[in-house]
């Protein structure tokens, strides 16, 4: 009986060890290169508009874009119900200067964490209300690169959750 208990204990230990190894192999460090520009609907001034959003996949949290925006630009100007998930609020920063020019932008950060989707996203409008992630927008690639680099830089920084909610 003692040998059986010892054998089962040994097998259990081996089983757990191999299980842990498998989990470590599945952990992927993101460098925020897994991104996509997707079309989404947004209610703006009581009107539903179609706009483009920059989605970051393979992320730590649906709050990653909010965290990055908070670290770079402080507390958001507005919070409303999320576009993708009601319990994750979207946050909006207005009159944001991204580049050396005098151009100002409105940036909306949102995201979702469901079994079907897991991403953090940004929507960017210029000071005239034009969608900056539109294919014909001259600053589109510069804006995508800017936010991709900011997400990478801010990834390891710690932020208290209640500060960005």
Residue 8 — pLDDT band, cuts 50, 70, 90? Answer: very low
Contacts of 44 (CB under 8 A, 6+ apart): none
Distance of alpha carbon 59 from alpha carbon 31, whole angstroms: 9
CATH code of domain 35-164: 3.30.310
pTM of the predicted structure, to 2 decimals: 0.76
pLDDT score recorded for residue 91: 94
Contacts of 120 (CB under 8 A, 6+ apart): 55, 56, 59, 61, 62, 63, 64, 65, 66, 109, 110, 111
Span 34-38, average pLDDT: 87
Q: Considering only CA atoms, which of 97, 62, 68, 94 is closest in space to residue 79?
A: 94
Residue 59 — pLDDT band, cuts 50, 70, 90? Answer: confident
Check whether 105 has a pLDDT greater than 50: yes
Check whether 13 has a pLDDT greater than 50: no
């Amino acid at each position: 009986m003692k040998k059986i208990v010892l054998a089962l204990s040994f097998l259990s230990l081996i089983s757990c060890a191999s299980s842990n190894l498998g989990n470590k192999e599945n952990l992927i460090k993101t460098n925020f290169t897994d991104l996509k520009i997707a079309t989404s609907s947004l209610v703006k001034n009581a009107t539903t508009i179609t706009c483009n959003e920059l989605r970051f996949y393979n992320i730590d949290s649906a709050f990653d874009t909010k965290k990055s925006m908070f670290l770079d630009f402080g507390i958001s100007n507005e919070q409303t119900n999320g576009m993708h998930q009601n319990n994750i609020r979207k946050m909006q920063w207005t009159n944001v200067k991204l580049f050396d020019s005098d151009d100002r932008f409105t940036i909306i950060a949102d995201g979702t964490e469901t079994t079907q989707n897991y991403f953090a996203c940004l929507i960017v409008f210029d000071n005239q209300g034009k969608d900056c992630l539109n294919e014909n927008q001259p600053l589109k690639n510069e804006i995508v690169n800017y936010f991709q680099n900011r997400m990478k830089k801010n990834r390891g920084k710690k932020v208290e959750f209640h500060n960005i909610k």
